[in-house]
Amino acid sequence: MLGLSGLVTGCAQVPGEIDQAARDALIPAITSERAESFFDRYNEVVGSAAAGSGAAPLAEVEGGTLLATSQFAAEEQQVTGVAPEDPPAAVTPSVVLSPQVGGYPMWAVVTGEPSAGGAPSWFLLTRENAASPWLASLAVHPPEGASVTAPLTADGAAVVADNAAVRRGDEVLEALRVYGETGEAPEGVDLSFADGLTNLPVHGLQLETAPPEFGTATRTCAVESPDEIHWLQTEYGAVALASISCTQSVTVNPGFSVVIEAAGLGTIPGGSQISQAEISQNATFILSVDVDGSATVVGQQMQPIGMTWSVP
């Protein structure tokens, strides 16, 4: 579990080393009060969206992958009329971690107060420029029993990971992307708490019993927004929030169809006879890499981000 307490002022990244005069000119990316204010509004908007009370302005508080998953969840709820079993828990910011910055874009890694028996949630907040609002672009709510190595801090800010740790992190991310496409588990990576990531190789329509002549099915995966993955130094290596999305594309030959079960699949109605479909799912996770070459993935449930289909 992340062993940090208090709310630390977060700042964003400037590449390379800076001298003391430059350091004195740095500005905080986000203050403690601003982080608390952001999550007050975040809780209000996300709670309203989950309750289905009209067009909640999710884009005012979320961006990137997190917004895509939230928008699809709202669309699915509207189509099916089924509300989430558990309302989203309110987020109380506990720690804000990020390197120092002298300009935009800015970002901060924020952890929330842990629930009883659970691990702290992790969020990546981003701000494009002075006219842009802070947005939560990635979020992970680790399962009970999971632990994440805390980033190192210096002078009240998190330490940017060194080049060797970043290279190792990028290597593991690529191995996890391949795993999503092929199911080939990467060596030296602990997936015990990876949750949704382990489902990416089999997500979508289950076609194992279909005859070879029915059509084609392919799966492609990608690391979402790789330029926005921010590696922070830990005692043993580096840690970052990351996301991988996979799309299953299915094309059915004339004379065949795929029948969706009565319960339906996401926004696809139950009983539909599908001749073509593209189903995209996402897995967001916290990835820790160590200097000994090992790595650990702590994730959450796989979430759909898009579905298109056609009937014969």
Per-residue pLDDT of 88-141, as tens digits, reads: 788 888 888 877 777 888 888 999 887 666 688 999 999 998 899 999 999 999
Strand order across the 135-140 sheet: 93-97, 106-112, 122-127, 135-140
Tokens 């060596």, residue located: 187
Confidence of residue 28 (pLDDT cuts 50, 70, 90): low
Phi, then psi, of 178 in degrees rounded to 5: -60, -40
Same domain, 183 and 149: no
In terms of domains, do 23 and 134 share one? yes
Range of the domain at 15: 1-153
Co-location of 300 and 168 in the same domain: yes
| Residue 7 pLDDT > 60 | no
Last residue of a domain, one of 121, 153, 185: 153
- Claim to verify: residue 6 and residue 141 sit in the same structural domain: yes
Same domain, yes or no: 44 and 76? yes
pTM, entire model: 0.87
Chain centroid, CA 219 distance in Å: 20
> What sign results for the dihedral spanned by CA atoms 230, 234, 236, 241?
negative
Condensed to tens digits (0 to 9), the pLDDT of residues 137-158 reads 999 999 888 888 889 988 778 8
Give the model's pLDDT for residue 249. Answer: 96
**Shared-domain flag, residues 148 and 294:** no
Does 127 lie in the same domain as 8? yes
Number of neighbours of residue 10 by Cβ within 10 angstroms: 29
The pLDDT confidence band at residue 32, using thresholds 50, 70 and 90, is confident
Percentage of the chain with pLDDT > 90?
49
* Final residue before a domain boundary, out of 153, 185, 211: 153
Q: Nearest to residue 175, comparing CAs of 3, 24, 295, 307? A: 295
184: domain CATH number is 3.10.450
User: How many domains does one find in the chain?
Assistant: 2
Is the same domain home to 178 and 308?
yes
Shared domain check, 257 and 175: yes
Q: Report whether pLDDT(20) > 80.
A: no
Highest mean pLDDT out of 53-62, 76-85, 219-228: 219-228
- The string of pLDDT tens digits covering residues 249-293 is 999 999 888 888 888 888 998 889 989 999 999 999 999 999 888
Strand 122-127 and strand 232-233: the pairing is: unpaired
Do 55 and 145 belong to one domain?
A: yes
